[in-house]
């Protein structure tokens, strides 16, 4: 899969530039925020396709999941 390799290359280059200019902490923060954005985007795409119910997901995050008898 060539597109994932290309994406990985650009992400690595971007983090390298951030590290070079702003330091290691900024590069780690940029990587973490990118990963968080990717995760949120994946959830949003799944919700748009009807595979994830966001109300149930939010209840699970808050610890109010359905009790199984």
- Kindly state whether residue 17 falls inside one of the protein's structural domains: yes
- Kindly state whether residue 69 falls inside one of the protein's structural domains: no
- Kindly state whether residue 67 falls inside one of the protein's structural domains: no
- Kindly state whether residue 68 falls inside one of the protein's structural domains: no
Write the CA distances from 23 to 19, 29, 54, integer angstroms.
4, 10, 37
- For residue 44, pLDDT over 50 is answered with yes
Task: Identify the pLDDT of residue 67.
Answer: 57
What pTM value is reported for the model?
0.59
- Kindly state whether residue 10 falls inside one of the protein's structural domains: yes
Q: Could you give the number of structural domains in the chain?
A: 1
**Domain span at residue 31?**
2-62
Q: Residue 10 is encoded by which pair of tokens?
A: 């650009």
What distance lies between CA 38 and its chain's CA centroid? 3
- Which ranges constitute the DSSP H helices of 1-69? 2-22, 24-48, 54-62
Average of per-residue pLDDT across 50-69: 72
């Amino acid at each position: 899969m060539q597109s994932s390799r290309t994406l990985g290359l650009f992400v690595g280059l971007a983090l390298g530039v951030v590290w070079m200019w702003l330091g290691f902490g900024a590069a780690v923060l940029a990587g973490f925020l990118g990963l968080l954005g990717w995760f949120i985007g994946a959830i949003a795409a799944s919700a748009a396709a009807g595979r994830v119910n966001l109300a149930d997901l939010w209840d699970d995050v808050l610890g109010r999941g359905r009790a199984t008898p």
